[in-house]
Every structure is written in C-alpha cells, then in structure tokens.
Amino acid sequence: MSAPPRPATAHATPSAERAAAEFTRRFGRAPLGVWSAPGRVNLIGEHTDYNDGFALPFAIDRRTWAAVAPREDRRIRVASTFAGDKSVELPLGLLDPARLAGWSAYPLGVAWAFGRLAARGGVDVCFDSSVPVGAGLSSSAAIEASIAIALNELWGTNLDRSALARIGRLAENEAVGAPTGIMDQTAALQGTAGAAVLLDARTLHTRAVPLGFAAAGLEVLVIDTRTAHAHAGGGYGARRASCERAAQVLGVPALRDVALARLEAAEALLDDETFRRARHVLTENARVLAAVTLLDAHGDPARSGDALARDMRAIGALLDASHASLRDDFEVSTPELDLAAESARAAGALGARMTGGGFGGAVIALVPTARNAAIAEAVTRAFAEAGYPRPQLFTVTPSAGARRER
Ligand code: ADP
Ligand code: MG
C-alpha cells in the first residue's frame, strides 16, 4: 500500500497562494506578504558573464514565491515546499557563510549578504516554486531574488535591483560555494514581460530587448534532459580558471577586452585547451551582440515580413553556433544536451542550444508554434531510442522579474 498523501494545503500547484497557505500551516500565523522571482533561460551568451562579457537571458513564466512575515526577535527561519516539513532557524547575528549548507544556504546566504543591514529584525519565510530545480533554469537565482526583494522591503534597505543581484551572487559564491556570475540574478531581478535582458556584465548595465517571438509565430521550447548538473563541482570552476589564465596571458583584465580580430594572435600564446576556452568566450560575446542587432531591427515596424523571417532564421543559426561552441570549444555539453538540440533542429526548430552552465540541464529551441507539438514528439522519441530518461518539455514566455505579489 502506498503512503497516504502528506496533509498539505488545498492548492495543488505552486503559487503565491500556496506559499502563503504553507506559511500559515507551518508557522501558525499569516504572512505579511508574498514576494516572487522568476527562473530564467539564457537565450544566448553562455559562460560570458564572469568574463565581463554580454548575455541575453529572459525571465520565464515559472516563479519562486516567498511568503514572509517579520518576527519579534532577531532570528531567521526558512522553510520550503521543496524541502519537506523541516525548517531551518538561526539567529541573524550568527549567519556565517562558511557554515551554511544544503538548500537553506541560498536564502540564509542572501540574508547574510545584506551585511550589517540585516540587523533590522527577524523574519519567517516559506518558499513555494514552479521552477524546476537543478535544470539549468536558475531556481537558485529565483529563490535568492525572491527573498532579496522581500528583505529589501521589510528591512527598508532601499537597495536597487542591481545591488540586489550582487547580493544574490555573493550568497551563491560565498554561502553556497558556487563560483557563478551575475547573469541569473540579473534576469530574475531585471526581467520584463515580452523582452530579454541584455546584460553587460562589466558595467552591470542592462537593457530590455523586446523579443517579438509570438508575433513572428515562434516560441521557445525548453527540453529539460533531467540530467543533473552541479556548479559547485569542478567543471565550472575549471572553466573559469581557464578563462582567467587566458586573460592573464593575453594581458587584459578579462576576456571581454580581447577583440575577435586578436583571436589568431592569441592562438600562438595559449595552449590548445585554453585557446579553445577563450575562443568560445570571444565568439559567444560576438553572437550575443549579433542577436541583439537582429532583435532590435525586428522592432522596426517598417521591416517586411520576409525580412523578419530571415532575421529569426539568423537568430536560430546563432543559437546553433553557440551550442557547437559550448560543445566543442568549451566542452560543457553532454550527449543528452547534444541529442536534445540536434533532434529539435532536425524536426524543424530554427535553432537550439544548451542553456545554463552545462554538464546537464536543459536545451532551448526556437520553434514555430505550429510545429511545437511535432518537435516535442520527435525529441521525446529520439530520447527513447537512445535509452535516455524521458525529457520534460514545456514552452516558456518572457515574463516579469521579481515583484511583490500580495
Ligand atoms: P538551478 O539554479 O539550475 O535550478 P542550482 O544547482 O544552481 O540549479 O540550484 C538548485 C538548488 O537551489 C537546489 O538544489 C536547492 O538547494 C536550491 N533551491 C532552488 N529552489 C529552491 C526552493 N524552491 N526551495 C528550496 N531550495 C531551493
Ligand atoms: Mg543555479
């Protein structure tokens, strides 16, 4: 006999309401409010952020909700529908990034990263989420950003969104121990409906770039391969170290400062592997800027339908080139990710690429809405034939960034 279902709330699917109801069920009182932040896909610009380069992520219509209420004392307590019924509780004064562990390192790391501003009072927090965890859609930035905007309001700290993104990154780097860049937090905090966020990771300047996919009869299909990735593991850090080595040898602060035209000269100075890592970063930065040029032109009402179709095909080609570069030069793809991208393409996607840090996770494909179902079926079939676990497929739409819900 199977175990009886865990007594939960009346809300079957993750939502702001369910976060609030779970808060009440667990803590015996109502939350003051619910704040939320989205997951993201990165349209293009992978492993560029920590090289001071460019990325073009967008916030998706899957979110993490944080139901929050202040406490009388100076303690912080966090719970999540993702983590069973146990909560984690600590005095705010004892938050030590080196001693935080497990899932609670993300939200508690954010509270720690507020620094002395965190002396403003205790809180209870309960999370609910519809962002798949560990799929490369940045459930980590979603949880960080949701609590960051909640604390910013409760504590009256008045930090702007780019400061909150840095707080999220600090938490992930120091408390979680994942040496990630700032792209994920930027997308979660700065995303807007219908647009991607062009991030200049050096200046942290952002600009909304309208995507117009729906108007072009296109959508973005996510293929979650359900294979694990672990950024805290060695692969990500090793790539970062290669990039830093390349920049050092080339005598620049970051690979962002190497013009594409210098690529050939760089080859003589670097060992083969370091050169290929650098080549990925340089060409990927160029692909981001090319995609932005195409998307900006797309917004021009004088542009003909034919030109739009051509632009979208060109964006698809950039996605393909990005995937090939991540696979061959940066070597962060996996057989599952390659198959997802190839089978989507073969079935009619305009382009497809792995999204997120790699070593597993998800692929995005730019697909004609009319062919979405057929492409999804073809990908699922290809996975079955290869003996891989059944992938999870869903479309995502560019959505609003972090906000208060109620
Ligand atoms: P990704 O960001 O691609 O989803 P990460 O490995 O960076 O993958 O982050 C996933 C981790 O973040 C989870 O293993 C968990 O520790 C934490 N996390 C994310 N969302 C939640 C949530 N809703 N509740 C609790 N922990 C979460
Ligand atoms: Mg993450």
Domain made up of 16-208: CATH architecture: 2-Layer Sandwich (3.30)
Q: Whose CA is nearest to atom 3 of ligand 1?
A: 136
Segment 322-342 shows an average pLDDT of 97
Would you place residue 184 in the very low, low, confident or very high pLDDT band (cuts 50, 70, 90)? Answer: very high
Assess whether pLDDT exceeds 80 at residue 2: no
Pairing of strands 33-42, 403-404: antiparallel
Task: Report the separation in Å between the CA atom of 363 and the middle of ligand 2, taken as the mean of its atom positions.
Answer: 15
pLDDT at 284: 98
pLDDT at 6: 45
Task: Report the separation in Å between the CA atom of 172 and the middle of ligand 2, taken as the mean of its atom positions.
Answer: 8
Task: Give residue-wise pLDDT tens across range 127-179.
Answer: 999 999 988 899 999 999 999 999 999 999 999 999 999 999 999 999 999 88
In the chain, CATH 3.30.70.890 covers: 218-396
Q: Whose CA is nearest to atom 23 of ligand 1?
A: 129
Task: Report the separation in Å between the CA atom of 134 and the middle of ligand 1, taken as the mean of its atom positions.
Answer: 6
Active site residue 160: no
Q: Whose CA is nearest to atom 16 of ligand 1?
A: 103
pTM confidence score: 0.92
Name which residue leads in pLDDT, 90 or 301. Answer: 90
**Cβ count near 238 (within 10 Å):** 13
Which residues keep their CB under 5 angstroms from ion ligand 2?
A: 138, 140
Task: Give residue-wise pLDDT tens across range 198-256.
Answer: 999 999 999 999 999 999 999 999 999 998 765 546 788 899 999 999 999 999 999 99
Q: Which residues have C-beta atoms less than 6 Å from ligand 1?
A: 64, 80, 82-83, 103, 106, 127, 129, 133-140, 143, 231, 356
Q: What percent of the chain has pLDDT over 90?
A: 87
* Domain 218-396 coded CATH 3.30.70.890: yes
- Pick from 279, 64, 326, 74: nearest CA to 188: 64
pLDDT at 390: 97
- Residue 172 CA: nearest ligand 1 atom is 7
- Residue 143 CA: nearest ligand 1 atom is 20
The partner residues of 368 in beta bridges, in order of sequence, read 218
Burial 146-163 (b: 16+ CB within 10 A, else e): bbbbbbbebbebebebbe
User: Choosing from 49, 52, 128, 184, which is the catalytic residue?
Assistant: 184
Name which residue leads in pLDDT, 123 or 10. Answer: 123
pLDDT at 189: 98
pLDDT at 233: 63
Which of 12-21, 94-103, 295-304, 372-381 shows the lowest mean pLDDT across its residues? Answer: 295-304
pLDDT at 10: 66
Query: What is the sign of the dihedral through the CA atoms of 372, 344, 380 and 228?
Result: negative
How many Å apart are CA 197 and CA 141, to the nearest integer? 15
In the chain, CATH 3.30.230.10 covers: 16-208
